[in-house]
Structures are given as C-alpha cells and as structure tokens.
Structure 1
Amino acid sequence: MGLTSNKVLVLAIVFALLLFVGTVWLWPRLARRSWRAVSGRVGLLLTTQVTLFACVALAANQAFGFYASWADLFGRETGQGVVVDHTAGGGSGGPLEVVDTRRVTERGSSRPQDGGQIQKVAVVGRTTHIATPAYVYLPPEYFQSGYRTRTFPAAVVLTGYPGTAEALVDKLNYPRTARKLAKDGRMQPMILVMLRPTVAPPRDTECVDVPGGPQTESFFAKDLPDAVMAHYRVGRKPGSWGVIGDSTGGYCALKLAMHHPGVYAAGAGLSPYYKAPIDPTTGDLFHGDEELRHQADLWWYLKHMPAPDTSLLVTSSKVGESNYKSTLKFVERVKATQRTRISSIILESGGHNFNTWRREIPPTLQWISGRLSDR
C-alpha cells in the first residue's frame, strides 16, 4: 500500500482508535507505582501519541502532496533522478514517451474531444540527461478536427519542494481549471506541462546548473521545451511558452523567465522567494562560483544585468505570507527597469498552502494566456 493510499490512512486511524480504547481499558490495571505499571502507562501514552501524529501527517501529506511514496519520504527514491542515457542521441523512444492517459474529470464524456486528456509522460533531457516524469494536459481543441493544423501555447507548471506532480492535477486542479476557463472564453486553449522542480530527488536543486551535478536550469530552459515540441503541436516561436510555479516552483518560474526570455515570454510565481537558499536540502549549489551564485539571486540580477524582455507575475498575502514585504519591493524594483513587465496578485489573507494557491490559479492562468501566442 502506497504512502498516499486511502487504505493506509484508514488503517492508521483504526489503529489509533484501538490504542485509545485500549489505553482507557487498561489504565486501571496500570494505576500502580511499580516500575512495570509506570512503564506500561508511558508506553501506551507514547504509542498512542505517535499513532495520532502519524494519522495527522498522512492526512496532511494527502492534502498537500509533500511526498509521493515511502521511498520519497525516506530519501530512498530510485525511480527518478539524474541518469546518463547512453542511447539518448539515437534511441527509438525519443526524449518524451507517453506511459499513461486519463480523463480530465471522472464524469461526463470520456472522449478527449469533449473534455481534453491528461497524459503521464517520461521525459529524458537530450543534453542534460535528466530523466523525470511529468503530466501533460491537452485541451479538447487539441483533438478536434477544426484545430488539427493549429499549434497551441504551452505553460510549464511547477510544484514547490518536495512536492509531487500529481498534486498539480488532483489537488491544485490545473487541468480542470484551464478547461473551465477556456470553455467560458476567459483564456485560450493551452497545453500544460506539469512536474516538480525536484528532478534529482531528494535534492532540492533550486533550478540551478550545479557544477559537476544536475544541470537543472538547462533542462527546463532547453531540454524540456525541445522534448515537448518534438511530440506535441506546440508553438515554436518566441512568445509561445510560459512558466508557472508555487513556492520553490515560483522562484524557478521567475528565474527561468528572467534568464531565458527567448524561451519563456511570461513567468508567474505564486508565493515565491527571490534568492536560492543554501540549506541541508540543497547542498552546495554553487561550489564557489560567485557568478553562478549571483545569477541565482533575482535581486542581484535586476540590478546588474540588462532587464529581460519578459512578463512577470508575483503573488502574496497581506496576512499569512512571509514574502509580502519582499514581494512589494520586488515589484518596485522590476518597475524601475522600464523594460520587464510586472503584475501582482495580493490577497488580504492567505497562508503558504494549496487553499491560497487555488484562489490564485484561475487569474494566473488568464494572465499568462493573454501573454502567449499560439504560433
């Protein structure tokens, strides 16, 4: 049974209830002052508390999608990561392969022409040799005969750290939201490429080309768009691609749009920060390379580098978000460039969580749709 399985959560809850009942039942028998009785009381209380904590943790993981599997939780994930593909240049499978398909919603027509389709894909970077899974949302128009010669704009959608790509589909509801907005005429039909920025798990690479390590920025700036364009009818000209992310993914989205405006015409950061951290999850990202460290600092980039010709969107909340003041300062610094375009969504209140981002995703999709071309 997987970490996110409902059976695991139900079993944990049942076990916690049985322990609670057992504690109440056995307490009178353990109400003595002997070392055995005291040890029994401590053991029952400790076990019950640990079980209750496990229930809360499992429920929170299901709600917010922090970890996808037991191996992911304990840092032993081996199914994904940075690999050297010795046949990447001439293999028959190509840089992107579809491994599964599903409907956008569980109800209604199963035809992709009516509701669109979500494809689970495996991507292998031709130049970086990074391999990672992703989900691709194809709008209904992609399958309709009237659009068979048309290309579509695309947006890369990134989670936070550690995050799971499934959360973008099932928790944040990007495909369903995009489908509804396009159906209502509030955004153009778009392809969404959904994945997490953690392409070398469990390490948090902050979308940096780590010296001697994962070339994460190059993967998102070149390999991923090349793989998607080779497989789908996606616009190839500048202005066809955007990038959205929350938290760590929000920082990555802003950085990718600023560093690679010829690839990403727009970048939206939901609850982003503006400088790559160094902590136990990241390890040494820069290996003494000061230029690389500066490039990962968006404040430094705006001050010392030519202003990129791109559009940025940042979000925060007056109450509940720690990045509120820094976001206001970032907006002012971008405005001072007079070249990079900046927009913002500032909520009255909202924490650093899925509920807040679900409130920001519809206007974000509308915003990015209005800045992308389908050619």
Structure 2
Amino acid sequence: MGLTSNKILGLAVLLAVLLFVGTIWLWPRLARHSWKAITGRVGLLIATQLAIFASVGLAANQAFGFYATWADLFGQETAPGLVVDHDPAKGAGPVKVVDTQTVNVPGGSRPVTGGQIQKIEVSGAQSKIASPAYVYLPPEYFQPQYKNRKFPAAVALTGYPGTAEALIKGLHYPQTAHKQAADGKMQPMIVIMMRPTVAPPRDTECVDIPGGPQTETFFADDLPRAVSDHYRVGVKPENWGIIGDSTGGYCALKLAIHHPGTYAAGVGLSAYYKAPIDVTTGDLFHGDKDLQKRADLMWYLDHMPPPKTSLLVTSSKKGEDNYQDTQRFIGKVKAPTRVSSITLDSGGHNFNTWRREIPASLEWMSSRLSAD
C-alpha cells in the first residue's frame, strides 16, 4: 500500500487506538516493580506514542502532500528524470496520457459536465527533462459547441517537496476552477498541475543549473510547447499563466518576470523572492554571479528592463514571514509590469491560507489571459 493510501492511514489510526486502549487495560497488571513490568510499561508507552506520531504524520502528509511514495519519504528517489525519445512518424509526442480520473464536483462522472483530470508524462526536448503532471480539462473542452475553441492555460506548482496530487486533493485546483467558471467569475481554463521538483530529490528552484537540470528551460519552453501541441491551448503569452505556492510561488513569479514572451501572468502565493542555497538545493549557480543575480527577483526588478507581464503576490499581516519582503517587491515594480496583491489579516504558510487565496487568484489570472 502506498504512502498516501487511506488504508495505511486507517491502519495506523486503528493501531494507535488499540495500543491506547491496551495500555489502559494492562496498566494495573504492570503496576509492579519487577523489571518485566517496568519493561512492559515502557514498551507500551513507546509503542503507543510511535503509533500516534505515525498517524499524525500520515494525516499531515495526506493533507499537505509533502511526500508521494515511501521511497520519496526515505530519500531513495535519487535517479534523475529520464527522457524518452518519440518517433514523430509513429504519431507519438512529448505528452503521453497515462491515466484519467473524474473531478470531484456535481456531475463529475461525465466529462461534459464535470471536466476531466488526465495524468500525463511530459518530455522536454530542450531541457532533456521528463516529468509527470496532472491536467484539468474543463467541461467545455468536451462540449461540441467548443470543439474548435482554444483555451487559456495555467501552470500550477506546489512548494518543495510537495506532490502534484496535493494540488488536487489538498488545494482543490480543479474543483475551484470548475466552480469559478460555473459561477461566471472566470473563463474556462486548462490547469497543468505539477511540482517544481522535476529532478527529485533535488530542489532546483526553477534554475538552469550549469551542468545540471535545466529546470527553467523546461517550464519556460518545453512544457508550454508540449501542452500546446497536445491540447487545444494557444501559443501566445496571453494564453498562458502560472501560479504556485511557496517555492512554486517563487518559480511562478520568476518565470513570468524572466519569460514574459511565454507567461502573461504569474501568481506567487506566499512566495519568497530569492533562491535559497541549502542542503536541498546544492550549488545552484556554480560560481556564475550573473545567474545568481537573475535568480534574485528584487535585484532583477532594480537592474533589468521591466517585463511586460502581470504579477499577483499574496501575504498575511500576521502569520507570514514574507509580508515585509512582499511590500518591498511591490514597491520595485515599474511599468509596463503590472502588480496586484492579496493581503490577509492573518494566515500561515499552509494549505488553509492558500485555499482562501486561490479562487480570487484564478479569477485575476483569467482576466489577464485570452482563449486565442
């Protein structure tokens, strides 16, 4: 059973309850001063606490999507992504659909009313990176009257080390996009859901690492091109937006700023503005000072020509560490770049906060994108 399986969580909770009840039941029998009784009491306490810790950890992982598999949890995911070359003569392409699932909305069993989520594998021709993703297709995509229409698309990124599944189960991007469009608050939009960690377990911060993973190239060039070739999505910058939380928010802002010819809008939910260097990233720049400066969005806004793109940043007056930096970032933006913000009175660096911000963020993005 997988790490995110409900059966695993249920078994862990059941074990914790049984151990708790067993501890209460057996405690009087172990209330002696013999070494066997003491060992038994200590063993029951440790086993019960471990079971409770495992239950809480599994529930938190399901809610926030930190790790997708056991190998991911224990750091065994060390192999880089593999690129599969496809022969155009055989009709293959850079996007391969490997699974489909329904959307958890009323009428979701039928694509024409609920839309559909497709699990895909994307191969990057330029970056040589291959990565899984989930694609939400709105109901209109399957309706006959829209058969010749192209749709705007938004790339949605998790934080690090999050999972793409968390964007569906935890942050509810498909359900939110469906409801916002059904309520007339945004146009129908395709959402490509991924984690920015396309070379696990390394946190590449969406940087083209010298001699390493070309993550920025993958998101700026390969992904939009591959999706547009496979789905009915335009290739102009006004057809594309990008949104993310935490690390994904930094990536979204950076990609919109660095590549306005690809993304007309970028949203950073609780984003930071400079790529960190730590044990998860390793050496991102290999002594390349220019590359390091470009990855600092504050420096970029001060020293480079302002890009023609739209940005939305979010923070909270209480509970977020990025509030002051976000205010500084807003102050540095110059025309033709446009900037908007969402500022909550309070909210932490967590899914609950981002779920409060995503509906307005998607509505904002929809107003800045066009279908064709």
With the length of structure 2 as denominator, give the TM-score of the two structures.
0.95
Q: Which of 328, 349, 353 is the matching residue for 2:350?
A: 353
Question: How far is 1:82 from its partner?
Answer: 2.2
Matches within 5 A, 1:66-81: 66-77=66-77, 81=80
Give the Cα–Cα distance (whole angstroms) in 1 for the partners of residues 147 and 343 of structure 2.
Answer: 39
Query: Cα gap change, 1:367/1:88 in structure 2, threshold over 3 Å: closer, same or farther?
Result: farther
Partner of 1:63: 63
Distance 1:90 1:156 in 2: 29
The separation in 1 between residues aligned to 2:161 and 2:231, in whole angstroms, is: 28
Distance 1:49 1:166, change over 3 A: same
Instruction: Give 3-state SS (helix, strand or coil) of 2:260's partner.
Output: coil
Tell me which moved more, 41-50 or 80-89. 80-89
Distance 1:46 1:329, change over 3 A: same
Higher mean displacement: 158-167 or 12-21? 12-21
Query: 1:250 Cα shift?
Result: 0.3
1:113–1:67 distance in 2 versus 1, CA, 3 Å: same
Match of 1:9 in 2: 9
Q: TM-score, normalised by structure 1?
A: 0.94
Amino acid at match of 1:312: L
Identity %: 69
Per-residue Cα deviation, 1:186-210 (whole angstroms, up to 9, x for no partner)? 1111111111101111111110111
Counterpart for residue 340 of structure 1: 337
Look up the equivalent residue of 2:267 and give its one-letter code: A
2:294 matched residue in structure 1: 295
Cα offsets for 1:106-158 (capped at 9, x unmatched):
64263322221111111111111211111111111112222222211111110
Going from structure 1 to structure 2, the CA distance change for 1:12 and 1:203 (only over 3 Å counts) comes to same
- Give yes or no for contact 2:111–2:142 (8 Å, CA) kept in 1: yes
Residue 27 of structure 2 aligns to a residue whose secondary structure is helix
Quick one: structure 1 residues 132 and 17, their matched pair in 2 at CA, closer, same or farther if it must change by over 3 Å?
Answer: same
CA deviations 1:337-356 (Å, max 9, x no partner) are 23211000001111111111
Specify the alignment match of 2:230 in structure 1. Answer: 231
Q: Name the SS of the counterpart of 2:13 in structure 1.
A: helix
Aligned length: 372
- For 2:269 and 2:216, the matched residues in 1 are separated by 19
Q: Structure 1 stretches of 5 or more lacking a match?
A: none
> How far apart are 1:68 and its partner, in Å?
1.2
* AA aligned opposite 1:266: A
SS of the residue aligned with 1:14? helix
Distance in 2 of aligned mates of 1:279 and 1:119: 34
* Alignment map for 1:273-284 (pairs within 5 Å): 273-284=272-283
**Greater mean alpha carbon deviation, residues 22-31 or residues 250-259:** 22-31
How far the C-alpha of 1:279 sits from its partner, in A, is: 1.1
User: Structure 1 residue 36: deviation in Å?
Assistant: 4.1
Deviations for 1:246-289, whole angstroms, at most 9, x for unmatched residues?
11100000000000000000000001000111111111111111
Partner of 1:129 in structure 2?
Answer: 128
CA shift at 1:10, angstroms?
1.4
- Structure 1 segments, 4+ long, off by >6 Å, are 88-91
2:204, 2:112 → 1: CA distance?
A: 38
CA-CA distance at 1:310 after TM superposition: 0.7
| Corresponding position of 2:368 | 371
Q: Is 1:39 paired with 2:39? A: yes
Q: Which residue of 2 aligns with 1:26?
A: 26
Q: Secondary structure at the match of 1:214?
A: coil
Describe how 1:234-253 pairs up with structure 2 within 5 A.
Answer: 234-253=233-252
Please state how far the C-alpha of 1:90 moved relative to its aligned partner: 7.3
> 1:125, 1:224 within 8 Å by CA — same for their partners in 2?
yes
Aligned to 1:116: 115
Alpha-carbon distance between aligned partners in 2 of 1:295 and 1:32, rounded to the nearest angstrom: 67
CA contact (8 A) 2:96 2:122 kept: yes
C-alpha distance 236-213 of structure 1, shift in aligned 2 (>3 A): same
Letter of the structure 2 residue corresponding to residue 133 of structure 1: P
Correspondence list, 1:311-326, <5 A? 311-326=310-325
